[in-house]
């Protein structure tokens, strides 16, 4: 017999909890809405479904070119992958794609990305002005396919859609940990799937210089440990991105974050070498010498070479976190500053930026830099990318510059999707701008800094949270419901894996590797109940270098546990959904046994020893949860002090272990709150 919480249970939740639960209950209704992310501007669902079978194919109705044809071929193989159907086009095309024009061959800032999709029970029409608009619409179509009573189908629907911001990006740091070509390309596929259109490639930093330079080959030869992209590979990525309607912006961070340049070219630095590739993380002293003409001769040659490799008109020069120790300790640099009336290190960096900006202009590029480049005299076309808050976005656009927000979208902090979702480029100081100023906010970029990720884990640190941020950048401003977002995110996450991402699938082999020859199922239970700590938690826990293995339990664990979120929803649904209690009980029974079941894996396994206390904590959470469920189900009041004691116990096990947070604590806390609510109601009843 199923354990059911009787309906009379419901009135005993505290008012506060009930308020918390209302949106969750409403989310049950939302889950019937279409699992699209980003949510389109207008969706009108109609009765009926269009069947997607093996004969499915799409045809081009109007303008056609190689990019559109390639997109349709990719689209059909995407549908074959996500449905498992052996697609072999036959009969009439079920989907007609009609564009008016190609738009630009290489995607451009602000191009028309709008589309309209109409699906009926007999066929579908996708209309767009440009090929890029059609690309966006094809992704919407693919997202809508789901199994129905007669096989795969897509609902009859009318969709009108266009982006809110023209600049919707993901920055990937490939310096601190090397990201091979396949990682970049599968992330480009996923970016296209959620309608992102800028890939910001952070190609150099202290820990590695990642592009082949033919003009200055010692950059990659001595600064990369052999891990760099050849120029042919860069062209491949640029074309790959272009085909998907994504611009590629290279970032060569300067004058700081440049140790890797100096290994091969020490004369660029502000202090004598020799230099080595930096293995630690942080902000380091080596910086370029802005006072020597040779620095600019070098940069002229380098920027010229890179300008022809990267077709996008925008070029990122970093400019963040510049330490001035080398400048202060150099008699020559100090003398130059006096001679040129440069008063401060900040002014010296402004002088450097100005010189670099002239070189960029010479090579046909527009400069982007992080907040720190915003100083008086900066050329008006510069784009400021804010990593420090909406305040610098507001400052930049009020001074006439264009700006992007990245603060609040730092994926490496491993915050929940809801945290990023709540951040808007138009908030805070940006909320009080004039419309003219606000129009210079181009959008935003999420940032995947790579101190604590590598090729194996990076997908799970970007996705699925990136999809929620993509919605922030694409969907209308009033699309803000966190419950709606979370009701769609798990399905979107599963769908994203069919684009080729490994954000879910890498976890299994990583846990198997840790488990050695033992079945890893108990470890999976622990991982599902855990959440990995982000940048600050890991930095605090131990001293990492770029050579520290990222093969531990924390690396397999996800930033945000979807299964724990399900359980939180189950607690909220106690009393209304009879399956909720059964699901909670079944999971908590497994939790309660987790320490014992993990015992054989932990014995003699140095890699797993650190999670033994975590397994104990999960068992504790499971036992507390089961007792709380018993009291709730039997409407019993626990012994005096029990709830308080167990709350303290939860506080104790809420402390991170092995750089992991026990997410399982959250639904158990909710059960204790529900018990408090029940006891208070009982006291009120007795007092009457």
Interacting residue ranges for ligand ACM, rule: CB under 6 A: 320-321, 370, 387
275: how many CB neighbours lie within 10 A of its CB?
A: 22
Q: By C-beta, is 298 or 387 nearer to ligand ACM?
A: 387
Q: What token pair was written down for 432?
A: 């009080």
Three-state DSSP at 368 gives: strand
Residue 406: closest CA among 168, 163, 111, 107: 168
**CA 154 to mean position of chain CA atoms:** 27
Q: Between 387 and 409, whose beta carbon lies closer to ligand ACM?
A: 387
Shortest gap between Cβ of 323 and ligand ACM (angstroms)? 12
Residue number, 415 or 620, with CB nearest to ligand ACM: 415
Catalytic, 321? Answer: yes
Burial of 173 from C-beta contacts in 10 A (0-12 / 13-18 / 19+)? buried
Q: How far is the CB of 634 from ligand ACM (least distance, A)?
A: 53
Least spacing, CB of residue 535 vs ligand ACM, in Å: 10
Least separation, in Å, of the C-beta of 257 and ligand ACM? Answer: 8
The tokens describing 152, both together, are 């795969």
By C-alpha distance, which of 197, 241, 193 is closest to 495?
193
With tokens 């480029």, the residue in question is 425
C-beta of 539: minimal distance to ligand ACM in Å? Answer: 14
The vertex-602 CA angle with 609 and 613, nearest 5°, equals 50
Write the DSSP symbol of residue 412. Answer: G
How far is 376 from 444, CA to CA, in rounded Å?
24
Does residue 362 contact residue 300 with C-beta atoms inside 8 Å?
Answer: yes
Q: How far is the CB of 171 from ligand ACM (least distance, A)?
A: 9
* Nearest-approach distance from CB 330 to ligand ACM, in angstroms: 24
Complex with ligand ACM: residue 35 or 318, whichever CB lies closer: 318
Q: CB neighbours (10 Å) of residue 579? A: 12
Closer residue to ligand ACM, CB minimum distance, 57 or 402: 402
- Looking at the Cβ atoms of 412 and 471, the one nearer to ligand ACM is 412
> What crossing angle do the helices spanning 15-30 and 562-572 adopt, rounded to 10°?
120
* CA distances (Å), origin 307, targets 186, 251, 360: 25, 12, 8
Q: Backbone phi, then psi, for 448, in 5-degree steps?
A: -110, 85
The radius of gyration computed from the CA coordinates of the chain, to the nearest angstrom, equals 27
How many whole angstroms separate alpha carbon 503 and alpha carbon 497? 7
CB of 322 to ligand ACM, least distance (A): 10
| Main-chain dihedrals φ then ψ at residue 124, nearest 5 degrees | -140, 150
Q: Between residues 112 and 320, which has the closer beta carbon with respect to ligand ACM?
A: 320
* Nearest residue (CB) to ligand ACM, 316 versus 661: 316
First-to-last CA distance in the chain?
36
Measured CA to CA, the distance from residue 462 to residue 460 in angstroms comes to: 5
What's the 3-state SS for 497-561?
Answer: HCCCCCCCCCHHHHHHHHHCCCCCHHHHHHHHCEEECCHHHHHHHCCCECCCCCCCHHHHCCCCC
Q: What single DSSP character describes residue 341?
A: T
- Residue 406 Cβ, how far from ligand ACM at the closest point, in Å? 7
Can you tell me which residue has the tokens 């109940």? 529
- In the complex with ligand ACM, the residue whose CB is nearer, 254 or 580, is 254
- 298 DSSP assignment: H
Instruction: Output the six-digit token pair for 608.
Output: 């797993």
* Strand-pair partners of 172: 201, 448
Please state the closest distance from residue 251 (CB atom) to ligand ACM, in A. Answer: 9
CA distance 653 to 661: 9
Cβ atoms 131, 138 nearer than 8 A: no
Structure tokens at 273: 């070498």
Closer of 439 and 536 to ligand ACM (Cβ):
536
Given 101, 321, 381, 649, the catalytic residue? 321
Active site residues: 321
């Amino acid at each position: 017999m199923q354990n059911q919480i009787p309906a009379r249970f419901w009135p005993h939740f505290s008012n506060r909890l009930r308020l918390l639960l209302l949106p969750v209950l409403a989310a049950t209704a939302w889950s019937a809405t279409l699992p699209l992310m980003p949510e389109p501007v207008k969706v009108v669902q109609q009765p009926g479904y269009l069947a997607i079978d093996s004969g499915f194919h799409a045809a081009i109705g109007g303008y056609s070119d190689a990019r559109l044809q390639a997109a349709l071929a990719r689209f059909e193989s995407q549908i074959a992958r996500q449905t498992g159907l052996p697609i072999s086009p036959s009969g009439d095309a079920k989907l007609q794609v009609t564009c008016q024009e190609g738009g630009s061959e290489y995607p451009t800032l602000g191009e028309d990305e709008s589309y309209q999709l109409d699906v009926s029970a007999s066929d579908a029409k996708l209309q767009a002005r440009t090929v890029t608009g059609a690309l966006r619409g094809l992704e919407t179509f693919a997202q809508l396919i789901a199994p129905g009573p007669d096989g795969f189908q897509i609902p009859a629907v009318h969709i009108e859609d266009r982006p809110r911001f023209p600049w919707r990006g993901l920055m990937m740091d490939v310096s601190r940990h090397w990201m091979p070509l396949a990682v970049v390309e599968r992330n480009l596929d996923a970016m296209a799937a959620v309608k992102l259109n800028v890939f910001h490639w952070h190609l150099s930093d202290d820990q590695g210089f990642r592009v082949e330079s033919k003009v200055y080959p010692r950059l990659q030869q001595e600064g990369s440990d052999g891990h760099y992209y050849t120029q042919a590979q860069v062209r491949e990525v640029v074309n790959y991105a272009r085909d998907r309607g994504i611009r590629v912006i290279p970032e060569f961070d300067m004058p700081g974050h440049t140790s890797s340049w100096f290994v091969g070219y020490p004369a660029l630095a502000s202090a004598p070498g020799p230099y080595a590739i930096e293995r630690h993380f942080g902000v380091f002293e080596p910086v370029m010498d802005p006072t020597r003409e040779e620095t600019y001769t070098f940069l002229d040659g380098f920027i010229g070479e890179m300008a022809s490799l990267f077709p996008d008109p925008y070029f990122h020069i970093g400019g963040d976190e510049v330490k001035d120790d080398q400048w202060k300790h150099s008699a020559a640099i100090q003398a130059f500053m006096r001679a040129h009336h440069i008063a401060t290190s900040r002014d010296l960096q402004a002088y450097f930026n100005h010189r670099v900006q002239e070189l960029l202009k010479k090579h046909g590029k527009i400069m982007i830099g992080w907040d720190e480049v915003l100083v008086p005299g900066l050329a008006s076309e510069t784009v400021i990318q804010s990593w420090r808050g909406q305040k610098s976005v507001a400052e930049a656009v009020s001074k006439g510059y264009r700006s992007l927000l990245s603060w609040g979208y730092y994926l490496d902090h491993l915050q929940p999707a809801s945290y990023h979702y709540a951040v808007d480029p138009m908030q805070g100081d940006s909320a009080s701008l004039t419309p003219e100023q606000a129009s210079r906010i181009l959008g935003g970029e999420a940032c995947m800094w790579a101190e604590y990720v590598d090729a194996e884990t990076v997908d799970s640190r970007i996705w699925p949270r990136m999809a929620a941020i993509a919605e922030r950048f694409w969907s209308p401003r009033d699309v803000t419901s966190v419950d709606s977002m979370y009701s769609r995110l798990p399905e979107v996450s599963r769908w994203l894996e069919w684009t080729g991402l490994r954000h879910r699938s890498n976890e299994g082999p990583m846990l198997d590797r840790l488990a050695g020859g033992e079945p890893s199922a108990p470890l999976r239970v622990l991982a599902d109940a855990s959440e990995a700590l982000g940048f600050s938690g890991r930095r605090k826990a131990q001293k990492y270098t770029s050579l520290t293995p990222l093969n531990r339990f924390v690396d397999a664990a996800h930033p945000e546990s979807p299964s724990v979120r399900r359980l939180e929803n189950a607690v909220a649904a106690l009393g209304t959904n009879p399956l909720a209690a059964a699901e909670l009980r079944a999971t908590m029974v497994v939790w309660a046994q987790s320490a014992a079941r993990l015992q054989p894996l932990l014995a003699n396994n140095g890699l797993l020893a650190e999670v033994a206390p975590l397994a104990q904590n999960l068992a504790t959470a499971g036992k507390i949860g089961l007792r709380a469920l018993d009291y709730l189900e039997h409407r019993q009041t626990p012994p005096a002090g029990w709830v308080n004691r167990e709350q303290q116990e939860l506080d104790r096990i809420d402390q991170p272990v092995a750089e992991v947070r026990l997410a399982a604590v959250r639904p158990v806390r909710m059960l204790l709150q529900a018990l408090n609510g029940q006891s208070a109601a009982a006291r009120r009843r007795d007092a009457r």
